[in-house]
Structure 1
Amino acid sequence: MLAEAARAAADGPVTGGGRRDATDVELVTIDPPGAKDLDQALGVVRRGSGFRVHYAIADLGAVVVPGGELDLEARRRGQTVYLPDGSVPLHPPVLSEGAASLLPDGPRAAVLWTIDLDDAGEQVAVSVERAVVRSRARLDYAGVQADVDTGRLHPALAAFAELGPLRRAHAVRRGAIELELPEQEVVPDGAGGWTVRVRRRLDVESWNAEISLLTGMAAASMMLEAGVGLLRTLPAPEPDALAAFRRAARELGFAWPDTMPVAEALAGLPADSPSALALRRSATVLLRGAGYGAFDRSAGTEPPADAGHGGIGAPYAHVTAPLRRLVDRFGTEVCLAVRAGAELPDWLREALPALPDVMAESDSVAGRVDRACVDRAEAALLTASVGREFDAVVLRADGEAGEVYVPDPPVLARCTGELTAGAVVRVRLAVADPASGRIEFAAP
């Protein structure tokens, strides 16, 4: 497998054979500092009164041979699993952090999405093709945010600050459910150990995510129209879940008119108030049942009855992170074939039915690893503080126990005692076990 990856890396970028030379398109990557597995390169410019988005995606189809050792090992892994001090990659680093990554050190094989939007940020046209691209710069979120704030964006992102807010507003209108709960991450503490912090999401991160969602929604539309593909699905909230959420809103003191959609209600919440945090936590009941739906009408398999994604507010397919997530390579190949009016190759059609189970298992593994890392880092931070009292926000109350959020250090944990959701309480740390990651507080 490693030898196959090394040979693919040594071959260099794929050119010719109908692959468009798009090295003249202004593109940049935006990722966390230090990231090397760069899946996407972005360009957002004005086009008349509207916008044109160029979204180049690393082309794994150029280096992974169907049925080869690389392909089989990637299908076994499913996705990259990230750890505080490294990762277990989906593909060998010689590809994912080198030859296939959209680094700004030379031409790269890519799948180039071109999406035109009107002056309101609504999609009016889309195309996808294999290309050769050249990223102009490797940027990070904080740097791009600083550029936005000072009005000196890279030319590739000339219209990013205009389109980004339009797409965010579009997300609310289509019913996207954004929880915006505190996002914990384990980071070095500067003294050879680890600590936990809350990562604040910058505006440019939200805008960048909206471009990825825009592309995934375009891909899903192609698949549904063609009757073949693989969707990322999430059922619409059940009536009982919506009723429970409305009840929580009333109990927490939020006026929520019956005619106001959930997305709009969440978008209007204050950023960090205790009651808003509790209501956001209660909204997790609206986002249950995520999965993948493979379909192929020619083989007698119809699209899922509920083909939408309740958290996004539209049908959606994964196609923008093939270096890190297996399913994106296959989704991309479906879109390329559909756009070209070609039949899907046999290897692709045969692979689709098995992918939902592969991704469900790898999602479960990645989620457990991430949670275990955070839990154990939190417990290690708190192990010397057992018996100490902390200020906490009650996120959930359920009989004689619930869940609290302690802002300093940022910890989400179980808490026993009589609790009221949305209240700020004083709690005592009862258990902090780094070996198991178990943390428990007790309310007076």
Structure 2
Amino acid sequence: MTTHNSKFKGKAKPRWLFEEVEGSKTEGIFKSHGHYGFIEGTDLFVRGENINTALNKDKVEYVVIKNTGFVEEGKSRFEAKILSVLERYKTSYVGEVIYCGKDQSFILLDSERLKRVASFTPETDDYKIGEKVIIQLTSFDLENLQGKVIKRIGHKSDPNMEIISILEDYGVKTSFPEEVIEEVQNVNLDIERHESHPARKDFRDIRLVTIDPSDSKDFDDAIAVYKKGDNYLLYVAISDVWSYLKDARNTDVEARRRGTSIYFLDSVIPMLPEKLSNNYCSLMPHQDRCAIVFSIEIDGKGKVLWDTMDVNPGIIHSKRRFTYGEVNEFFDGENQLEREDLEVRESLTLGLELYKMLENNRINRGYIAMEFPELKMKMSPSGEITEIYPYIRKHAQIMIENFMILANEGIARLLSEKNIPGIYRVHENPDVTKILFFVEEARKLSFEIEDTNFEKITQKTISSWFRNTSSHENMDLIYLLLLRSLQKAKYSINNAGHFGLNLKHYLHFTSPIRRYPDTMVHKMLWNYLFEKNEIPKNGGDPIYCDLHDIAKDSSHAEVQSNEISKEIKNCKIIQFMNKKVDSTFKAKVVFPAKSGAYVQLEDYYVEGFVKSRVPLILGSNVLVKPIHNSKEFKLLKVL
């Protein structure tokens, strides 16, 4: 057996004529696609021979190179050549043992972004083909990756091994440190102690209810709506997590490290220990709980009366735990909720009236209500998918969303007006090149867009494109194209506004059980509004540096959480489609590529890649067949 990975090498790639662009040396993040990649935030392509030793998400130093030879039509002459790796994103990877030798064994790394083989010297002779391990890389020659096995996870035959491997690859800890467990054991609910705080008010008479998915175990928020003369009076009560975290230092540190709860399939890895997330901090029905209560009046035309806004810590007593399904049945007239108190039913009815006005006003000011199906799965007790179906939000979900957005905007306004430090939810204006790409692709689908100054595009202009177009046959695809053209929202200490919502002030306040930035907003409210500590000078206090780091880390945690959820979902989808390899499916082209296209199955909303020698047109229909153990489909026919 050779001691080099040469037996796994691909064919040599052709070389083009390149010259370095003077003064173009800079830094960036490398995004790997196996044996090629890109520089993040640019369209600079990195050929295999120009990758150097970079792995996915490594911080690199690169230079721009110009192709002075032949360039395919539509392709850029400019590419990137990586000079060095400045900082490794990670050095430990999960992989599968594919060859066991006495002196050298080989692992195929799990990451689709790498598609590489690494070697290691086994310390024992009991490694098995198919065993999953974690390897710590020590040599980064991409054709001869080497390392040391630091953990043996199990065998791929374990039905849960794919999920375990993904969590291990991301370094996710499913249990809490011992010091956190011990600390939480000593935390008491102690409502009497909390209610004695001079700033806390009694809201137990307010007819608050929670409305959540049927499988929810932690209840962050509760709502109530009243009529006050001609106005509507909205209450949004949010779990007062900080009142329990402030005296639990180890738990707070661990929550900060996690940044967010991770949701996948029907499971969750919580940010907070269960005693807090599902009990003391959860707004459970018929139980006294600590909350921060936001209230505001809205007039009969849906205008928010900001001068009536009030925010206070309090004690609440939720009257009922509703599911979205129950409330939607009530709104649709299918369930009269006759056993519920009249005041609770009245609150729900007023909530429906209020949300419709708020939603209409949001759309009029430029908000785009992009409603398209979300992929949901039903799981068997053994963890297998039994059904894939589209999940479509209805009135109850959209009502809660509107009320939460209003509360988030209100708290952002409050912090901004009083110069209280905070973490904002920022959504920057879109890049003009991506908007132009969207316009070009949408027009190919016969979606009418008038010419305008795309360099100074506003949300209201984009919103105007979508008026009276809900019946367009490719509406879901057009929404998907628009989402891909917009920036990703992130956390920041700078209040830069939210393009997608068309709001000047926005943050996350309403989910402190599962998002750490929300918890920090609560901390700022307690420190500087409720307890009236001196507000630090803008930028001149260590709190700003701390919040900056939290915002950056939380943005990263959110991205990672989404990646984990997507990878686990894809694994389960592949298992599901493996049972249908003999079936054919109608699909729609959602993203054409050089060697084929990404398509979406009509029946399941599952996406996958099909290879094709002929160009596949965006929005066209094709007939495909699943490929065993792959995210790809076999193209049978263009319809």
TM over 0.5: yes
In the alignment, which residue of structure 2 is the partner of 1:143? 326
Greater CA drift, 344-353 or 315-324:
344-353
Contact 1:222 1:338 in 2 (8 A): no
Equivalent residue in structure 2 for 1:78, among 245, 248, 259: 259
**Distance change in 2, residues 1:59/1:402 (3 Å):** same
The superposition leaves residues 236-266 of structure 1 with CA deviations (integer Å, 9 ceiling, x where unpaired) of: 1222222222222321112234577222434
Q: Deviations over 1:80-133 (max 9, x none)?
A: 111324211111111110111000131100000012112222221311110000
- Map Cα deviations across residues 47-86 of structure 1 (whole Å, 9 max, x no partner): 2222111000000121112671111110111111113242
Q: Residue 205 of structure 2 corresponds to which residue in structure 1?
A: 24
Which residue number in structure 1 is paired with residue 605 of structure 2? 410
Preserved CA contact (<8 Å) 2:448 2:465: no
User: Would you say the 8 A contact 1:274–1:423 is kept in 2?
Assistant: no
1:157: Cα distance to partner? 2.3
Matched residues in 1 for 2:449 and 2:368: separation?
Answer: 15
Number of equivalences: 429
Partner of 2:124: none
Q: In the TM superposition, what is the alpha-carbon distance from 1:16 to its structure 2 partner?
A: 1.6
* Residue of structure 2 equivalent to 1:256: 449
For residues 316 and 188 of structure 1, do their structure 2 counterparts lie closer, same or farther at Cα, with a shift above 3 Å needed?
same
Alignment match, 2:220: 39
In 1, Cα distance between equivalents of 2:636 and 2:464 = 34
1:326 aligns with 2:516: yes
Output the CA distance in 1 between the equivalents of 2:521 and 2:467. 31
1:312 corresponds, among 498, 501, 509, to: 501
**Counterpart residue type for residue 252 of structure 1:** L
**Does the CA-based 8 Å contact 1:287-1:310 persist in structure 2?**
no
Is residue 102 of structure 1 aligned with residue 283 of structure 2? yes
For 1:40 and 1:267, the matched residues in 2 are separated by 32
Partner of 1:299: none
Q: 1:293 to 1:10 in 2, by over 3 A?
A: closer
Counterpart for residue 127 of structure 1: 310
**Contact (CA 8 Å) 1:229, 1:352: kept in 2 or not?**
yes
Contact 1:75 1:326 in 2 (8 A): yes
State the 1:339 CA deviation: 4.3
In 1: Cα distance, 2:474 partner to 2:468 partner: 13
Structure 1 position 240 matched with structure 2 position 433? yes
Residues 434 and 486, structure 2, Cα contact 8 Å, conserved in 1: no
Pick one of 40, 47, 58 that aligns with 2:239.
58
Q: Write out per-residue CA displacement over residues 129-173 of structure 1, whole angstroms, 9 at most, x where no aligned residue.
A: 100001000001111011112266623324111111112112222
Please tell me whether the aligned partners of residues 265 and 569 of structure 2 are also in contact (alpha carbons under 8 angstroms). Answer: no
Contiguous gaps of at least 5 residues in structure 2:
1-179, 338-343, 453-459
Match of residue 617 from structure 2:
420
Normalized per residue, the structure richer in helix is 1
Following the alignment from structure 1 to structure 2, what is the Cα–Cα distance between the partners of residues 66 and 204? 36
- 2:347 and 2:543 map into 1 onto residues whose CA distance is 34
Unaligned runs of 5+ in 1: 295-302
Change in CA separation of 1:400 and 1:349 when aligned onto 2, cut-off 3 Å: closer
Q: What's 1:229 paired with? A: 422
- In the alignment, residue 380 of structure 1 is paired with which amino acid? Q
What is the CA deviation profile of residues 193-224 of structure 1, one whole-angstrom value per residue up to 9, with x for unaligned ones? 32432211112211110111111111221222
1:174 corresponds to: 365
* CA distance in structure 2 between the aligned counterparts of 1:191 and 1:353, rounded to whole angstroms: 43
Measured in 2, the distance between the counterparts of 1:122 and 1:7 equals 46
Q: From the CA coordinates, give the structure whose radius of gyration is larger.
A: 2
Per-residue displacement from partner, 1:366-405 (whole Å, max 9, x unpaired)? 1111101221121111113336421012222234422221
Q: What is the alpha-carbon distance in structure 2 between the residues aligned to residue 209 and residue 441 of structure 1?
A: 40
TM-score (norm 2): 0.63
SS at match of 1:110: strand
Structure 2 distance, partners of 1:99, 1:347, is 31
Paired letter, 1:423:
S
1:373-384 equivalences under 5 Å are 373-384=568-579
Question: SS state of the match for residue 8, structure 1?
Answer: coil
- Counterpart Cα distance in 2 of 1:367 and 1:127: 34
What is the alpha-carbon distance in structure 2 between the residues aligned to residue 10 and residue 207 of structure 1? 31
What value does the CA root-mean-square deviation take over the aligned residues? 2.5
Query: Deviations along 1:403-427, whole A, 9 cap, x unmatched?
Result: 2211323312223333222222222
Q: Which has the higher contact order (CA 8 A, sep 6+)?
A: 1
Matched, 1:154 2:345: yes
**What is the alpha-carbon distance in structure 1 between the residues aligned to residue 228 and residue 399 of structure 2?**
18
The alpha carbon displacement at 1:189 in A equals 4.5
Instruction: Name the SS for the 1:96 alignment partner.
Output: helix
- C-alpha separation between the residues in 2 aligned to 1:284 and 1:415? 22
Give distance in 2, aligned partners of 1:426 and 1:178: 31
Of 357-366 and 130-139, more deviation after overlay is shown by 357-366
TM-score, normalised on structure 1? 0.89
One-letter amino acid matched to 1:5: V
